[in-house]
Amino acid sequence: MLRVGDLNESLKFYIDVLGMRLLRRKDYSSGRFTLAFVGYGEESDNTVIELTHNWDIDHYEIGEGYGHIAVGVENISSTCKRIKQAGGRVVREPGPMKHGSTIIAFIEDPDGYKIELIEIPSSHNPR
């Protein structure tokens, strides 16, 4: 679960920039918050991210315990290019990870949460 300051901006990022789908959304007016669940497929078969928007809070400090979310992609260079074209922010360009050979990149969502992109081999591009 990620607490977000502007739910509409966050949904735009996760849907339009990362290509996820809004799976469900519900307002809890008595608690003054909204929960939105996004992912690449149905919750029964895929991992999803819960975005929590507390209506009276528009900014959070990201704690030192948070690291990042990781998403596997087949072509990291074209993915980063598409993310930039969609208005996303790439904060570490694609390249090998420190002390390894896996190709990674980092992007940032509107609230400053880091998302690591990890290149996974496709059937057309075996490593």
> Would you give the DSSP letter of residue 88?
-
Cα–Cα distances in Å, from 37 out to 22, 84, 86, 120? Answer: 6, 24, 21, 25
Enzyme catalytic residues? 116
Whether residue 49 contacts residue 69, with contact meaning beta carbons closer than 8 Å, is answered with: yes
3-state helix, strand, coil in the chain (%, to 5): 15, 40, 45
> Would you give the DSSP letter of residue 41?
S
Kindly report the length of the chain.
127
* CA 65 – CA 63 distance, rounded (Å): 5
